[in-house]
Copies of this chain bind each other. A is one copy, B any other.
C-alpha cells in the first residue's frame, strides 16, 4: 500500500523531525535528502501520506509533522529491519560499572536507570526484580525488642529484605530459630511466592500439626512480604521536560504528575512485563491520557530465561526510536549478563 519512495520520504520526514521538532517542508526534504525529484513531487507524496494518516500539518501552510501512526510505521519497519547494534565497548563499560554493585540490588537498578537516562537524555526507568519471584535461600529471625523481631530474607538473586516486624504474643529466640530452621530446611530453592502458596495450603490441610509455630511462621512470612517495596527507579525526568516541545511549562504539568507518579507507571510496566522483548508504546497508544505526548520503549530483562523485571525509556513521541530501542536492548542484555554471572 506504500511504495518504496513514499516510505523513504516518510522516513526522511520522521528523521528530520526527530532531529529538530520543526514541521518539515517539501523543499527541505529535497535539499537534505537526494530523491532526485522536485519539491512539488514531494509535496504530492506528502499530501498522500497525510491522507493516509502518517503525517499531519499544524496549520495549512506549514510543513508536515509525523503522527503517532507515522511513528508506528517507522518503528515497525525499524523493528523488522536490522537492529542497529551498539558499540560493544559501551556495553563493556556498562557491564563493568554494574559489576561493582551487583550485590546491592537497589543501587544496581538505580544505576541502571541513571545509565539509561544519561546515555539517551530521555527518562530511564528500571524495575528491580520482585522479591516474590526470587528464589528463597534463607530466612533469619532475630529478636529485636519485646514485641518486635527483625526478619531477614535472602534469595539467590542477591535480594535482601529485612524488616522490623511486630509479633504478638512474643516469641523467644528459640522459637524464632525453630521457625527459621523449618523454613530453611523445607523451602530452600523454591520461589518466594510458591512458598507462600504452599504455606497457606499446608495450614488448611494439615490442621495445625505443627501447632502454633507453623501459624506464627506464616504470619511472619506474610508480614514480611506485605511490604511492597515494589520500587521503580527513575532518572532524567527533567531532561525530558526541558525538551523544546515542552517549553510551555504550564502544559506539561499534568504530564509531569503522571510520569512522576510511580504507581501509574508501575501499572504500565506491569502490563509490559507480560510480553518478552522490546516493546514500543507511541503517544496516544498509551491508555494513560496524560502520557499521550510521550513514547515508551521498554524491555523485560531476566536471568536464566526467567523474566524478572522491566526497564524502559520514556521520551517525547519524537524520540530517537532507533537509538532508544537498541539502547534498551543492550542494557537489558547487560543486566542479564551481570545477573547470570552472580549465580
* Chain A interface residues (CB < 8 Å from chain B): 103-104, 137-138, 140, 142, 144, 148, 150, 152, 154, 158, 160, 162-166, 227, 238, 241-242, 247, 249-250, 253, 256, 260
Chain B min CB distance to A128 (Å): 14
Across the interface, which residues of B come within 8 angstroms of A104, CB to CB? 163-164, 227
Q: Which of B103, B138, B164 contacts A164 (CB 8 A)?
A: B103
Contact for A150 among B160, B241, B249, CB less than 8 A: B160
Within the complex, what minimum Cβ distance (angstroms) separates A100 from chain B? 11
In the bound complex, do residue B260 and residue A166 qualify as a contact, i.e. CB atoms below 8 Å apart? no
Copies of the polypeptide in the assembly:
2
By CB atoms of chain B within 10 A, which of A142, A148, A166, A256 has the most? A142
The answer for the CA separation of A154 and B227 in the assembled complex, in Å, is 19
**Which residues in B have their C-beta under 8 angstroms from that of A148?**
103
Q: A152-B140, A242-B249, A242-B253 are in contact. Are A166 and B103 (CB under 8 A)?
A: yes
A103 CB contacts on chain B under 8 angstroms? 148, 163-166
**Contact flag A142-B163 (CB < 8 Å), given A104-B227, A242-B253:** no
A249 to B249, CA, bound (A): 7
* Closest chain B residue to A247, Cβ basis: B249
Residues on B with C-beta less than 8 A from A164 are: 103-104, 158, 160
Interface-centre pick from A162, A163, A260 (highest chain B CB count, 10 A): A162
7 contacts between A and B (CB under 8 A): A104-B164, A150-B152, A150-B160, A158-B164, A241-B249, A242-B250, A247-B249
Residue of B nearest to A105 (CB): B164
Contacts A104-B163, A249-B247; A152 near B142 (Cβ below 8 A) = yes
How far is B260's CA from A164's CA once the two chains are assembled, in angstroms? 31
Q: Which chain B positions have C-beta within 8 A of A250?
A: 242, 247
Q: Which of B150, B160, B238, B241 meets A163, CB within 8 Å? A: B160
Cβ-defined partner of A152 (8 Å) among B162, B242, B253: B162
Question: How many angstroms between the C-alpha atoms of A33 and B122 in the bound complex?
Answer: 50
**Residue among B160, B242, B256 making CB contact with A162, cutoff 8 Å:** B160
Taken together as a complex, chains A and B put the C-alpha atoms of A165 and B152 apart, in Å, by 15
Of A137, A144, A166, most buried by chain B (CB within 10 Å of CB) is A144
Minimum CB–CB distance from A271 to chain B (whole Å) comes to 26
Verify A142–B142 contact, CB threshold 8 A. Answer: no
Contacts of A253 in B (CB 8 A): 242
Name the CB-closest residue of B to A249: B249
